[in-house]
Each structure stands twice: as C-alpha cells, then as structure tokens.
Amino acid sequence: MSEPVATRPHMPGYGILAAHQGTGLLPWSWALERLERSHDYWLATAGADGRPHVMPVWAVWIDDALWFSSSRASRKARNLAVQPHCAITTDNAYEPVVIEGEAELIRHPAAIATFVARTNRKYRTEYSVEFFSSPSNACFQVRPAWAFGLTESDFTGSPTRWTFSPAAS
C-alpha cells in the first residue's frame, strides 16, 4: 500500500486549525500504531433497512487491512452480507482512529490461517483454523478507503483525515 494522503478534515463549527497549526497533520504511522495495538474495536454496520448496528470485535491488522471474525448468524455478519460498507474504531477515545471501507469475506485457507495465527498471538488464545473456517463462522477484512484520527489533548490542531488510493484491480 502506498502512503495515504493526509489532510485536515472539514469540521465546521469546531474551531479546527489549519493543517500547519497545532500538532499539524498526524503521520500515518501514528494511526497505524493505534490500529495495530488496540485491544478492542467498535464495528458499525447497517442492515438493508438502513438501521445502524454497533458491536465490539477483536481485530488484527494484516497486509494493510483490519481483519476480524464473527458468527455468520450474528447481526453484524448478516448486515455485511447485504451492505459491506462499514466503519471501525479503535478503543481509545482520547486518541481514536476510525477507518471506513468495505468488508470482504475471506475464504482462502492460507489467509484464514494467517488471521488465526495473528489473533492467537495478539490475544493469547488458541483458536484453530477449523474454528474460523467452519460454516458457522466468517472472517472479514476491511481495507480503509479513508481513516480519521485526532488527539484529545490537541482537539483543534490534530484532526487528520487519510485518504487511500483505490486498490489496483
């Protein structure tokens, strides 16, 4: 993945400073560190009727995407099956990172094995590949179309929006 483009987000009414003021634009490495180390994440989906749904998930950052799993019967998985657009946030409200993109269902056994190994290492669990490959479970990855981050300590001088180039097909 090439480095995303960082800009100051348009936030009328919040007193946001110009990109060269305050902390300035946060580097992508700042966001990436938080995406990798967050313990819990909040996944926001919407169903076909447009109703929002937000739930906590565990996730790992692999190959420029955030990966998570869910029961296929869960509301979040059913929502993603009909509407793959979603948003995911890290668990730290003082230095949040939000990504938005489309969730892609992962079916390739080697990719699932990588996800399981990373999940087990991060969360000190002992899940099996078979557990995540079963017909009742699903693994997803979300490649960000854009991301947003800020520090509460410099609310007006740190907000940063990162825009990603579309993946080459």
- pLDDT tens digits for 11-21? 999 988 888 88
Mean pLDDT score across all residues of the chain: 94
Rounded to an integer, what distance in angstroms lies between the CA atom of residue 57 and that of residue 103?
A: 14
Is 20:6 a contact under the CB 8 Å cutoff? Answer: no
Provide φ and ψ at 133, rounded to 5°.
-90, -5
Of 11-15, 37-41, 88-92, least confident by mean pLDDT is 11-15
The dihedral sign for the CA sequence 66, 72, 76, 79: positive
Of 13-17, 28-32, 163-167, least confident by mean pLDDT is 163-167
Map out the domains of the chain as residue ranges.
Answer: 5-159
Q: Where are the alpha helices (DSSP H) in 9-106?
A: 28-37, 75-82
For residue 126, what are the β-bridge partners? none
Reported CATH class of domain 5-159: mainly beta
Q: Average pLDDT in the 116-131 region?
A: 94
- pLDDT tens digits for 44-80? 999 999 999 999 999 999 999 999 999 999 999 999 9
Q: What tokens does 67 get? A: 């990966």
pLDDT of residue 167: 62
Helix (H) / strand (E) containing 112: helix 109-123
Q: Average pLDDT in the 35-50 region?
A: 97
The amino acid sitting at 48 is A
pLDDT of residue 19: 86
Q: Average pLDDT in the 104-132 region?
A: 94
Rounded to an integer, what distance in angstroms lies between the CA atom of residue 101 and that of residue 71?
A: 20
Residue 168 has pLDDT above 80, yes or no: no
pLDDT of residue 1: 62
* Chain position carrying tokens 């078979």: 130
